[in-house]
Amino acid sequence: MKTFCGRANPATGALDWVEESEEYDYHQEIARSCYADMLHDHDRNEKYFQGIRAAVSRVKARGEKVIVLDIGTGTGLLSMMAVTAGADYCYAVEVFKPMADAAFRIVKKNGFSDKIKIINKHSTEVTVGLDGDMQTRANVLVTELFDTELIGEGALPSYEHAHLNLVQEGCEAVPHRATVYAQLVESEQLWSWAQLQPMEVDGCKLLPPPAVSHCAGAHSVCDIQLSQVSPHRFTPLGPLCTMFSVDFSKPVSSAPQSHSSSFPAQSSGRAQVVLSWWDIDMDPSGSIVCSMAPSWTYPDPQSWRDHWMQSVYFLPVERRVAEGEELSLTVSHDDYSLWYSLQPDGEAPPCRPCCVCQAHLVWTRTRFGELNDRQRTQSYVRALRSVVKPDSVCVGVSDGSLLPVFAHMLGSMNTRLLAAKTFQILGIRPDQLSSTDLAGEQISVLIGEPYFSTSLLPWHSLYFWYCRTALVRLLTPNATILPCSATLCMVAVEFQDLWRIRAPCGTCEGFDVGPMDEMVQQSLDFRESHESEPQPLWEYPCRALTQPRAVMTFDFLQCVPEQPIRCQGSLPFTRRGRCHGVALWMEYQLNDDIKVSMGLTRPVSEEGACEWSLHRKQGVYFFRSPWESSGDGRASVSYSFTFEPSIGDIKMDFTVASQ
């Protein structure tokens, strides 16, 4: 049986529906899961084990048999911890069938099959009774139903149902409670991800439309590795506030609620952004705590994790506050999401914000940041200034780009935007453009960032090249193409932590989880292990073990060739370390003097430190096994790249060998 899957086509810029085997979705789900990351999270695992031991001991101290309900069991790890701690029986619920099958094998391999029952259902479908999934209600509730926002995976409805139907009154719960914290800050960097800012072009100020600047934006959380945002990048306007707690040992409600915290402003500034995270107490006394706080809140580095990060929320409107002013920060939530507001005490909290200008639905957070990047804007403006003339006929090819606006402001009397005397937006594809659309004129300047919303990997923006080729009949003989070329670059890297998302675990807290490793590797081998994946590397520190290298150049002054473009070579290791894979990115040559990088933003330091663009994701090709580099140049990464014009994609292969 076959299934249809949507996939971005770099050659057409469209979302194509392609036929895949029925196993495709299954393997994608497993390959891109966070299971390996969770198993490598020793701090999380250790705290859960401590909390489970304490809960089992409290129930035994009451003279009761310990019956555990483990919702979202995953590998069965927490259930095995419970049995090891002395639980009499565990019901382990897992809705995802491949994961439930893996849990069954793991439980059996570790010798717990007589004490743990795997139930492949959603917890709200589990029944209790002589003929039910559970013989009796549990007196210990163990769960791991949380995401970065705490409640985004449906934790509240699941707890609500469990207390009503699956556990005893007064049960022990691990974790026992969760607490959400928030801090009001001013941050130019973070706020640039929320609203389009005024910008200046040749002394003229360009203001965003009121519909955009007054829009509350999308309410969805922005989850990031906040540890990688330096405290110098924001100004706290208030203290870290405890917003609300949820006691999981008691009945939980999923009904909408609001909670407020009042405080005097610590300093004057613009209230723009709320930084938020949570922690979980594994026991009633709060002596076993697992915290999601960013690393800069601790004197010593804490455990790294990617399955739980930190949250950034944007206030519906920016507000100026004065030092000492009494403020009230309110968090509201429904059963799946949170949103924040700043308002006077006693005033009813606002409804969940929603975008009414459409921009927040079309542009991602990082796209807003890219459009607001002044240095980047000036690079494009300088390049445009050198080619735009009063009689230029400019056509812009990019999604939601401001370059045609800049070109018009710089003097072009005829500017058109695909997706000036006149400025015209043409809502058609490049291959549909005709001379009639251009009023009989030809294009003298073709511009693009390039940026396309369908691009997943860096080289998918080569769609610009295909657009340039489709428009060749409408270009003047000496038409300027900006950018004039693109270059694919690579560097072999050692990741500080990101390697954990791909590394096998073997044993976890003394339990053999080998079947999980095998399942993940099988799914990776289905396709993912032969492909790159997009990652925002500014969030994931890494160290270069080779020099960066430009490996392929694409000449936009020429049409897309009919034959594949191939290149191969080797890159010697020049630094000692453990190589986990290769980072890849694109650089665009706007003209002879100006280049814009979508990857490294400055030269690699002598120690190998890398600084990456905040706006675009880079490609990461993980090696199946890490390679230990001595840094003496005797070992190297051999690479082979093939650009396939028919599909607009790049096939690649890497091997590591010593001389």
CA distances from 417 to 111, 170, 316, 377, 404 (A): 65, 64, 30, 17, 6
Phi then psi for 59, rounded to 5 degrees? Answer: -70, -45
Residue 144 annotated to the active site? yes
Residue 23 annotated to the active site? no
Phi then psi for 167, rounded to 5 degrees? Answer: -125, 160
Instruction: Give the three-class secondary structure for 291.
Output: strand
Q: Point out the catalytic residue in the list 20, 23, 94, 144.
A: 144
The pair of structure tokens assigned to 103 is 């849990």
- The answer to whether the beta carbons of residues 146 and 153 sit under 8 Å apart is yes
Q: Please give the single-letter amino acid code of residue 522.
A: Q
Instruction: Give the three-class secondary structure for 151.
Output: coil
d(CA 514, CA 528): 20
d(CA 283, CA 260): 26
What residues contact 367, with CB distance under 8 A and at least 6 apart? 400, 451, 615
Instruction: Give the three-class secondary structure for 404.
Output: helix
Packing angle between helix 97-109 and helix 24-31, nearest 10 degrees?
Answer: 60
d(CA 475, CA 473): 6
The pair of structure tokens assigned to 574 is 């020049």
Token pair 């390679």 is found at: 627
Instruction: Give the three-class secondary structure for 503.
Output: coil
d(CA 133, CA 48): 25
Token pair 């560097």 is found at: 491
d(CA 591, CA 557): 11
Q: Please give the single-letter amino acid code of residue 13.
A: G
Neighbouring-strand partners of residue 493:
544, 581
Q: Point out the catalytic residue in the list 20, 153, 188, 531.
A: 153
Kindly give the pairing relationship between strand 549-555 and strand 485-495.
Answer: antiparallel
Closest residue by Cα to residue 450 from 399, 405, 409: 399
Instruction: Give the three-class secondary structure for 528.
Output: helix
Kindly give the pairing relationship between strand 443-447 and strand 393-396.
Answer: parallel
Kindly give the pairing relationship between strand 549-555 and strand 542-544.
Answer: unpaired
d(CA 287, CA 299): 19
- The answer to whether the beta carbons of residues 138 and 168 sit under 8 Å apart is yes
Q: How many CA atoms lie within 13 A of 536 on its CB side?
A: 14
CA distances from 473 to 427, 444, 450 (A): 19, 12, 21
Enumerate the active-site residues: 144, 153
